Amino acid sequence: MEKLEQMYEGKAKKVFATDEKDKVIVSYKDDATAGDGAKRGTIVGKGAINNRMTNFLMQLLEKQGVPTHFVEELDDRNTVVKKVEIVPLEVIIRNISAGSFAKRYGVEEGIVFDEPTLEFSLKNDDLHDPLINRYHVLALKLATKDELDRISEMAFKVNEVLKAYFLKLNVKLVDFKLEFGRTQDGSIVLADEISPDTCRFWDADTNEKLDKDRFRRDMGGVEDAYKEMMHRVFGEQA
């Protein structure tokens, strides 16, 4: 497979065309942003950690019946994925109150929910990714009813699988953001990434934050937190 011209550059990744029309190469960067890009920095080694962890978790989910865009890991930072049309929604699952949820509803962080919550945000930095409900999604023709049902079903399945997996690593999966895409035949697959950039991970004993919140909140120890999550997932192979 030949890597061709750059098609897109986002906050955390670049996407390159290939000589196969239905596949692209995603290249992960060390760049870090928060607040819709208002805060910028670098987390050394982040790109490699996020790439490897995402690919591992995507393959784990595939085995549990969740279709993903993953095709092949090329090296520490580059991965071949199926070319998809991204559904312009951020799909957020929450198991414990934290972040914007706690701020929005005036509650403390750390409340364990009886059932996970599901919310959608419009994927638009200029509008600060506003919350959007099912009816708005349909009105704006961002997805069909069947696609929304499928996305919701898949998101809860991802949560079920990953929550149990991370608990075995002594990590609480507090909340996370997913993105989905349409393949060329119209199928919905899990896309984007699953990493400390897109998930809140807390140590199960101490509630120590092991994710991008350390960057967002200027807590320090950002690189160490990413490395710790890498070590918990991959052990001595990290």
pLDDT digits (tens, 9 = 90+) for 58-95: 999 999 999 999 999 999 999 999 999 999 999 999 99
Domains of the chain (ranges plus CATH)? 3-82 (3.30.200.20), 85-221 (3.30.470.20)
The answer to whether 91 touches 179, Cβ cutoff 8 Å, is yes
Q: How many CA atoms lie within 13 A of 54 on its CB side?
A: 37
**How far apart, in whole angstroms, are the C-alpha atoms of residue 89 and residue 124?**
9
Out of 21-25, 124-128, 194-198, pick the least confident: 124-128
To 10 degrees, the CA torsion angle through 100, 104, 105, 110?
20
Q: What is the mean pLDDT of the chain?
A: 96
Has residue 238 got a pLDDT over 70?
Answer: no
Average of per-residue pLDDT across 192-207: 97
